[in-house]
Chain A
Amino acid sequence: MPNKSGSLYGLTILSPIIDDEKATPSHDLQIRKYLASLATDDRSPFALAPGTHLARLVVMDDVIYVGMPACEEHLKSKYLVLESNFDGELDDYLGGLADHVPEQLDSIWGHCVAYPGAANRQAFIDYMKACQLDTTFYFAAINDKSLPETLRALHTRSAVADFIANHQGMEPARLQAEFVQFVAQLRSEPIPGPGTGGIARDIKTGGRNE
């Protein structure tokens, strides 16, 4: 199935945004305003719900006109795009979002046409699937590791580097004992949660000259 690569699922959703000329500010602007204040670290809704490796939300205002001799055309609706890369199956993932972060989902998709709310889990899943686009080609650089496995591996890599640096030239019997103890301690340590460790950037950037 093109939506999947190994154990990873590539979800693409286009939700039409309510077009209400009486709404002030407009619904698309309200989504943008909310997203601008939404945490991107371990307090992100995608960190609080299980399974998301990377995800983005984009308000798509219109299609793009590339100039003559192409025809100029425009969309009748603006769309909220969700692009997500997660572990497992679609129903479980959407259900997990509805279970863990219903308020955030309602704050975002509440501005979209026919959104039923996240309180009704099955209605939410059905709505998202009605807005889903099938991926034509999906590429995942690592497609056989879950998010917990990846977070653990990153933690392990850092700890192993320290261990090797601090145990150079050690006598073998002591090295062996300390290695066994190191592995036991590493396994008992909590894994850093998803979304942790980034730096806060006051200025949202990512322009084309970067």
Chain B
Amino acid sequence: MSNINGKVYAMNAITPMKPWKTWILRGFFFVLGRVKPLQQDLINLSFIEFARWVVLPRRGFPFLGNGQKREELQYDYLLFFSNFNGTWNQYIDAFSAVLSRGLNLIWRWSEKFPGSVPVTPFKNYIAQVQFDTDYYYTAYPRATANDLKSAHIVQASLDALSLRAQDYTPAQFEEAYLHFVIQVQAHLGETGDAPVVF
């Protein structure tokens, strides 16, 4: 098992759904993908770097012949993959507290989903449907999602100041530099090793 690399955790989950229900879920995701304000809670959970949901129809498993047996399933499946910062418990707690309505809309079509609130049965359900990662790679193991957002803000501010830095008089530069420091001061800080939890 290797669910963690640096500051990021890889979660995989799979849940069964009755096939007729998957069309409702597809409709919800269709709307979610096109109405950006509905994604705001997901964006506000700023410890998620990447996440995806994949509806896998019962006849949609890749079939390549060559001796492979074709799957014979009754359920469609919902696959969920998340890349987040922090611990498993923090993640589920935050999901339950902030996104409970959205989570219910996504997983209520899955068999035996208990609802995202209260959190204890929700955690039990996630633990039941989660499967572990065998290999996990991140290009920036020392950085969190917030580090990435901050780094791009600092880069953009630096680029803007450096464009005109040589043209300023010292007094003008002093003012522009002060403005730059005020812009970036909340976005500085060191990335570093992740805390090791045992």
Contacts and interface: CB of A to CB of B under 8 A. Distances in A.
A64 B174 CA distance: 62
B43 A141 contact: yes
A65 B146 CA distance: 36
Given A58-B132, A76-B71, A133-B56, A157 B137 contact: no
Contacts of B60: 133
Given A204-B1, A206-B10, A142 B136 contact: no
B40 to A, nearest CB: 12
Given A83-B81, A157-B155, A158-B191, A135 B3 contact: no
B138 A195 contact: yes
- Grouping DSSP codes into helix (H, G, I), strand (E, B) and loop, the B interface class, with mixed when no group exceeds half, is mixed
Contacts, number: 325
Interface in A151-209: 151-154, 156-158, 160-161, 164, 172-173, 175-176, 179-180, 183, 194-195, 197-199, 201, 203-209
Interface of A: 2, 8, 10, 12, 14-16, 18-19, 31-32, 35-36, 38, 40-41, 44, 46-47, 52-61, 63-64, 66-67, 70-71, 73, 75-77, 79, 81, 83, 85, 113-114, 130-142, 145, 147, 149-154, 156-158, 160-161, 164, 172-173, 175-176, 179-180, 183, 194-195, 197-199, 201, 203-210
The 5 A-B residue pairs whose C-beta atoms are closest, nearest first, are A206-B3, A198-B141, A194-B139, A153-B151, A172-B170
